[in-house]
Chains A and B, each alone.
Chain A
Amino acid sequence: MATVLPRASGGPPVSLRWPPEDNRIPREIFTDPDLFRWEMDAVFTGPVWVLVGHEAEIPQPGDYKTISVGAVPVIVVRGGDGQVRVLLNACAHRGARLVEGPSGNVLRAGFRCIYHMWTYAPDGTLQGVSLPEDFPAEFRREDYGLPRARVATHRGLIFASFHDETPPLPAYLAELTEGLDRVVGDGRLRYLGSVKVVFRTNWKLYVENIYDGYHVTALHTGFQVVRLRSHGGQRLVPNYQRNGHLWGQSRSTRVDELRPVLRDMSLFEVRTKPTTDHNMIVVFPSGVVTDYFDTIQLRYVLPLAVDRTLIEFTFFARSDDPEEVVRHRVRQGPAVLGPAGAITLEDAAALERVQTSSVARGDNVVLKGTPKRFPPYRHVDEAPIRHFYQAYRRLLGVADGAPSQP
């Protein structure tokens, strides 16, 4: 059973200025702390499915990992019954955080709160209470399980929702399902580890950057240096009338056609796929899924504060990969897409600059590809960003500015 978190109601508690043109983004949405708090509620615990992991991260019964859904700290745990659940990481008694570390196993011990020693089973049910004498007569353990999110999985991808009206996951993902399948295959993956880094930017700037195909060759100098470009592709926005995911597809230059400026060009090599086609996906609002080169990566975008966002880059192999393929993926993944990756740092630098100058007020403007009103867009377009903000504004209850349907 899912537990609905208590939520604020009504419109935004802040007055939000939004220009009438849907390609203009008011800069104050990146700096307003009241809006940030409202987003954590209206977006992240709104009628959305938030990507919180892949089952390969918690393969054994009792395995858990911690993450957050917006501002809500949660535990993603596989029960003794094999079922994946998402539990609030806060004791139902007086709220102490239950687990501190990033991961572990609680099959035997369950979750034990340090404060008054309440213990919970891996499925979140309250098992034991210390010294329960003199509790109110009506106290029943069944009433004090850990609150749970709704959970749905697709090919091992774990999604959580704290809202009762979130549509079923297949309807939410719509045509994006096909893109996800291209990346995660049959879902049998092996977890290789993660790298986490704080970007000094608002979470929306991080996400809109993925929708933006315009910056790719301009900002990422490495691509220019090795002469890597996109040979066709497109930017789809599955379910744009509702939640506006991104499905970017493109085909990049083969490694043997690149300028060999590095002694070891395996960074840009594709060994596991018949072509250099890859997918760059955002599951609205905050999950990133990609199979760039041979890297299978999920990213969790975790807002920390209005101007700070934790990005967790997680890396996977396929379960049946031979060891040399695993080794290639381990060498390539973080070297391309990670905090010290050859094409990641530049995004952080650009986004920090946008964040810093957002106090200047005024609007950011989206231009490239915007004469077209609806997807599909070209892979070099930034126009899909509009659909991200339309979906965002719907959740906030601000008129979405979307043109009428074609």
Chain B
Amino acid sequence: MSALSDVTSREQAARELLSHYVRVVDDPERVHEWPDLFADEAEYVVVTRENLERGLPVAVIRDDSKDRILDRVTVIREFWGAGGRLEDRHYNDVRPRHLVGPVWTEPAEDGSVWVTANFGVWLTPSADPTPRLLALGEYRDHVVFTPQGPRFRSKWVILDTAVLQDVFVYPL
């Protein structure tokens, strides 16, 4: 494979990882698959643009290790009784819907790929037919290539909305 097409295929693979991510986070029954999309060393951070720009360290979510990323699924399923199972308590019985795009990719010298994308997340609660706009913002992702395939080394979710419009269960 030529160097050029190798870069192109890596960028393509990174985009596909993002599409797959959206599929997983939109489906409450697949939330346990979410950590598989991250590398063994990884972070998932949700932060408001306001705190980021002021240099304040508090984030909405700061899962700064694979352990914490795996724990999030335990919290979602065991603490919050969510994940599409019958016995769930449904604290927040919603169907999330991510709208993502455009997506930009930028290959790095070390073979990894930076991916940025605009996103919005809508929630449709089962008890209320009116969809709620939960958050709008930007993904800043770093995708690395492992023997298993492309994985997120880091996923930063930067929220334009300094005020979250709702509490939320599933990953953004």
By a CB distance below 8 angstroms, the chain A residues around B61 are: 334-335, 340
Q: Are B71 and A340 in contact (CB under 8 A)?
A: no
Q: Are A263 and B67 in contact (CB under 8 A)?
A: yes
What CA separation (Å) do A109 and B89 show in the bound complex? 53
Q: Kindly state whether residue A83 has any CB partner on chain B within 8 Å.
A: no
* B:134-172 near A, CB below 8 Å: 162-169
By a CB distance below 8 angstroms, the chain A residues around B79 are: 221-222, 225, 342-343
Q: Kindly state whether residue A198 has any CB partner on chain B within 8 Å.
A: yes
Q: Are B60 and A345 in contact (CB under 8 A)?
A: no
Q: Given A222-B79, A345-B92, are A339 and B58 also a contact pair (CB < 8 Å)?
A: no
Q: Are B78 and A264 in contact (CB under 8 A)?
A: no
Q: Kindly state whether residue B103 has any CB partner on chain A within 8 Å.
A: no
What CA separation (Å) do A404 and B51 show in the bound complex? 49
Q: Kindly state whether residue A70 has any CB partner on chain B within 8 Å.
A: no
What CA separation (Å) do A196 and B71 show in the bound complex? 23
Per the CB 8 Å criterion, the residue count for chain B at the interface is 36
Q: Are B68 and A264 in contact (CB under 8 A)?
A: yes
What CA separation (Å) do A335 and B51 show in the bound complex? 16
Q: Are A349 and B62 in contact (CB under 8 A)?
A: no
Q: Kindly state whether residue A103 has any CB partner on chain B within 8 Å.
A: yes
Residue with the greatest number of chain A CB neighbours at <10 A, chosen from B51, B60, B80, B168: B60
Residue with the greatest number of chain A CB neighbours at <10 A, chosen from B46, B67, B92, B166: B166
Q: Are A221 and B81 in contact (CB under 8 A)?
A: yes
By a CB distance below 8 angstroms, the chain B residues around A338 are: 60
Q: Kindly state whether residue A132 has any CB partner on chain B within 8 Å.
A: no
* A:326-383 near B, CB below 8 Å: 326, 330-331, 333-335, 338-340, 342-346, 348-349, 356
Residue with the greatest number of chain A CB neighbours at <10 A, chosen from B81, B162, B163, B167: B167
Q: Are A335 and B62 in contact (CB under 8 A)?
A: yes
- Partner of B65 from A221, A264, A326, A348 at Cβ < 8 Å: A264
Q: Mark B91-127, 1 if CB is under 8 A from A, else 0.
A: 1100000000000000000000000000000000001
By a CB distance below 8 angstroms, the chain A residues around B59 are: 193, 330, 334
Q: Are A262 and B75 in contact (CB under 8 A)?
A: yes
What CA separation (Å) do A28 and B10 show in the bound complex? 59
Q: Are A222 and B75 in contact (CB under 8 A)?
A: yes
Q: Kindly state whether residue B129 has any CB partner on chain A within 8 Å.
A: no
Q: Are A193 and B58 in contact (CB under 8 A)?
A: yes
User: Which B-chain residue is minimally distant from A317 (CB atoms)?
Assistant: B57
Q: Are B80 and A346 in contact (CB under 8 A)?
A: yes
By a CB distance below 8 angstroms, the chain A residues around B127 are: 356
User: Which A-chain residue is minimally distant from B50 (CB atoms)?
Assistant: A102
Q: Are B56 and A192 in contact (CB under 8 A)?
A: yes
- Partner of A103 from B54, B64, B67, B163 at Cβ < 8 Å: B54
Q: Kindly state whether residue B70 has any CB partner on chain A within 8 Å.
A: yes
Q: Kindly state whether residue A395 has any CB partner on chain B within 8 Å.
A: no
Q: Are B58 and A342 in contact (CB under 8 A)?
A: no
Q: Kindly state whether residue A200 has any CB partner on chain B within 8 Å.
A: yes
Q: How far is the CB of A349 from chain B (nearest CB, A)?
A: 4
- Partner of A221 from B46, B56, B78 at Cβ < 8 Å: B78
Q: Are A345 and B91 in contact (CB under 8 A)?
A: yes
Q: Given A103-B54, A262-B71, A264-B68, are A221 and B163 also a contact pair (CB < 8 Å)?
A: no
Q: Are B74 and A345 in contact (CB under 8 A)?
A: no
Q: Are A339 and B60 in contact (CB under 8 A)?
A: yes
By a CB distance below 8 angstroms, the chain A residues around B48 are: 195
- Partner of A197 from B67, B164, B169 at Cβ < 8 Å: B164
- Partner of A349 from B56, B64, B92 at Cβ < 8 Å: B92
* B:38-56 near A, CB below 8 Å: 46, 48, 50-51, 54, 56
Q: Are A197 and B163 in contact (CB under 8 A)?
A: yes
Q: Kindly state whether residue A43 has any CB partner on chain B within 8 Å.
A: no
Q: Are B167 and A344 in contact (CB under 8 A)?
A: yes
Q: How far is the CB of A213 from chain B (nearest CB, A)?
A: 20
User: Which B-chain residue is minimally distant from A219 (CB atoms)?
Assistant: B91
Q: Are B71 and A339 in contact (CB under 8 A)?
A: no
**B-to-A contact residues, CB < 8 Å:** 46, 48, 50-51, 54, 56-62, 64-65, 67-68, 70-71, 74-75, 78-81, 89, 91-92, 127, 162-169
9 closest A-B pairs by beta carbon, nearest first, are A193-B58, A193-B56, A222-B79, A263-B67, A349-B91, A197-B164, A348-B167, A196-B163, A262-B71
User: Would you give 19 A-B contacts (Cβ < 8 Å), ordered by A?
Assistant: A194-B58, A195-B48, A197-B166, A198-B163, A221-B80, A225-B79, A264-B71, A331-B64, A334-B58, A334-B59, A334-B61, A335-B61, A339-B164, A340-B61, A344-B167, A345-B169, A346-B80, A349-B91, A349-B167
